[in-house]
Amino acid sequence: MAKDRARKRPNLLLTGTPGTGKTTTATALADATQLRHVSVGDLVRDKGLHDGWDDELECHVINEDLVCDELEDVMEQGGNIVDYHGCDFFPERWFDLVAVLQTDNSILYDRLSKRGYAGSKLSNNIECEIFQVLLEEAKESYPQDIVLALKSDTVADIDRNVASLTEWVRQWHPMS
């Protein structure tokens, strides 16, 4: 259920371990629904919303407050698909649905290896998926009834997820 009565279109969060298909799913869903795709990773990089670089994990150290400040007005308007591998720092009121993409570990290992992930970066992400860290984070951060776990192993899974999420967007109505 929508938390913000002013929104005319829903906000969705697509989260999951890197390599689970968030960006692929978000891009296809944005095309199907005309919602705006917000890639938090791109936003952090493009607008400098970070506190430097983590050499071990080979990524920016996100400044969560700066990200939330940057997104506040856009999220209030509604009509967004936010794509990021974390979720516990976003305000609960922003999202009408939180979809956690999950991928079989052997498939995920291959995807991340092809991206050049190695060492602790690779093992940390595989362990994150094994222990369902992102699903637990979503369940702890948002009402249970808006958190949805979606299998994302194959192109057919992604197509099915996009179709079901598109249908959810079409049926969504703001609170009256």
The per-residue pLDDT for range 10-23, each reduced to its tens digit, is 999 999 999 999 99
Q: Are 100 and 148 in contact (CB under 8 A)?
A: yes
pLDDT greater than 90 at residue 176: no
Q: Are 56 and 108 in contact (CB under 8 A)?
A: no
Q: What is the mean pLDDT of residues 85-96?
A: 96
Domain range enclosing 96: 11-165
Is residue 52 situated within a structural domain? yes
Count of domains forming the chain:
1
Q: What is the pLDDT of residue 5?
A: 54
**Among candidate residues 10, 62, 64, 17, the one with its CA nearest the CA of residue 36:** 10
Is residue 73 situated within a structural domain? yes
Beta strands (DSSP E) in 6-139 are 11-15, 36-39, 50-54, 59-62, 80-83, 97-102
Is residue 171 situated within a structural domain? no
**Which tokens sit at 165?**
């999420």
pLDDT in tens, 46-67: 999 999 999 888 889 999 999 9
pLDDT in tens, 33-51: 999 999 999 999 999 999 9
Mean pLDDT, the chain, integer: 94
Whole-angstrom distance, CA of residue 132 vs CA of residue 126: 10
pLDDT greater than 60 at residue 1: no
Q: What is the pLDDT of residue 4?
A: 46
- Provide the pLDDT confidence category of residue 3 given band limits of 50, 70 and 90: very low
- Provide the pLDDT confidence category of residue 84 given band limits of 50, 70 and 90: very high
Q: What is the mean pLDDT of residues 78-88?
A: 97
Q: Are 61 and 38 in contact (CB under 8 A)?
A: no
Is residue 172 situated within a structural domain? no
CATH number of the domain that 136 lies in?
3.40.50.300
Is residue 5 situated within a structural domain? no
pLDDT in tens, 122-146: 999 999 999 999 999 999 999 999 9
Q: What is the pLDDT of residue 173?
A: 87
